Amino acid sequence: MNYYLLLLPSVHDVMKAEKILLNAGVNLNVIATPREISHNCGVVIRFESSNLHKLLALLEELPVEKKVFKKVDDNVYVEVIQE
């Protein structure tokens, strides 16, 4: 199964997004942010890649920068989307 990571500016933003997504039935995990993608926010939301469009639609009204990353190799991530 393929997973993506959603990076938000702060832990507070991650907590708000987590609540919205869980209430909508999105399967997710909050995990430590890999150093390779950011040193700012300590956590990211890990979710199944098949939920990408649903996740972005649900978080459309959350007025913060959203970055989505995909792991392509050990310790190598590529940015998929930035909103």
> Which pLDDT tens digit goes with each residue over 44-81?
999 999 999 999 999 999 999 999 999 999 989 999 98
* Average pLDDT of the residues of the chain: 94
CATH number at 3-82: 3.30.70.120
Whether the predicted pLDDT of 13 surpasses 90? yes
Domain positions in the chain are: 3-82
Band of residue 28 on the pLDDT scale cut at 50, 70, 90: very high
Contacts of 58 (CB under 8 A, 6+ apart): 20, 21, 24, 26
Beta strands per DSSP E along 1-83? 3-7, 28-32, 43-48, 67-73, 76-82
Q: Global pTM?
A: 0.92
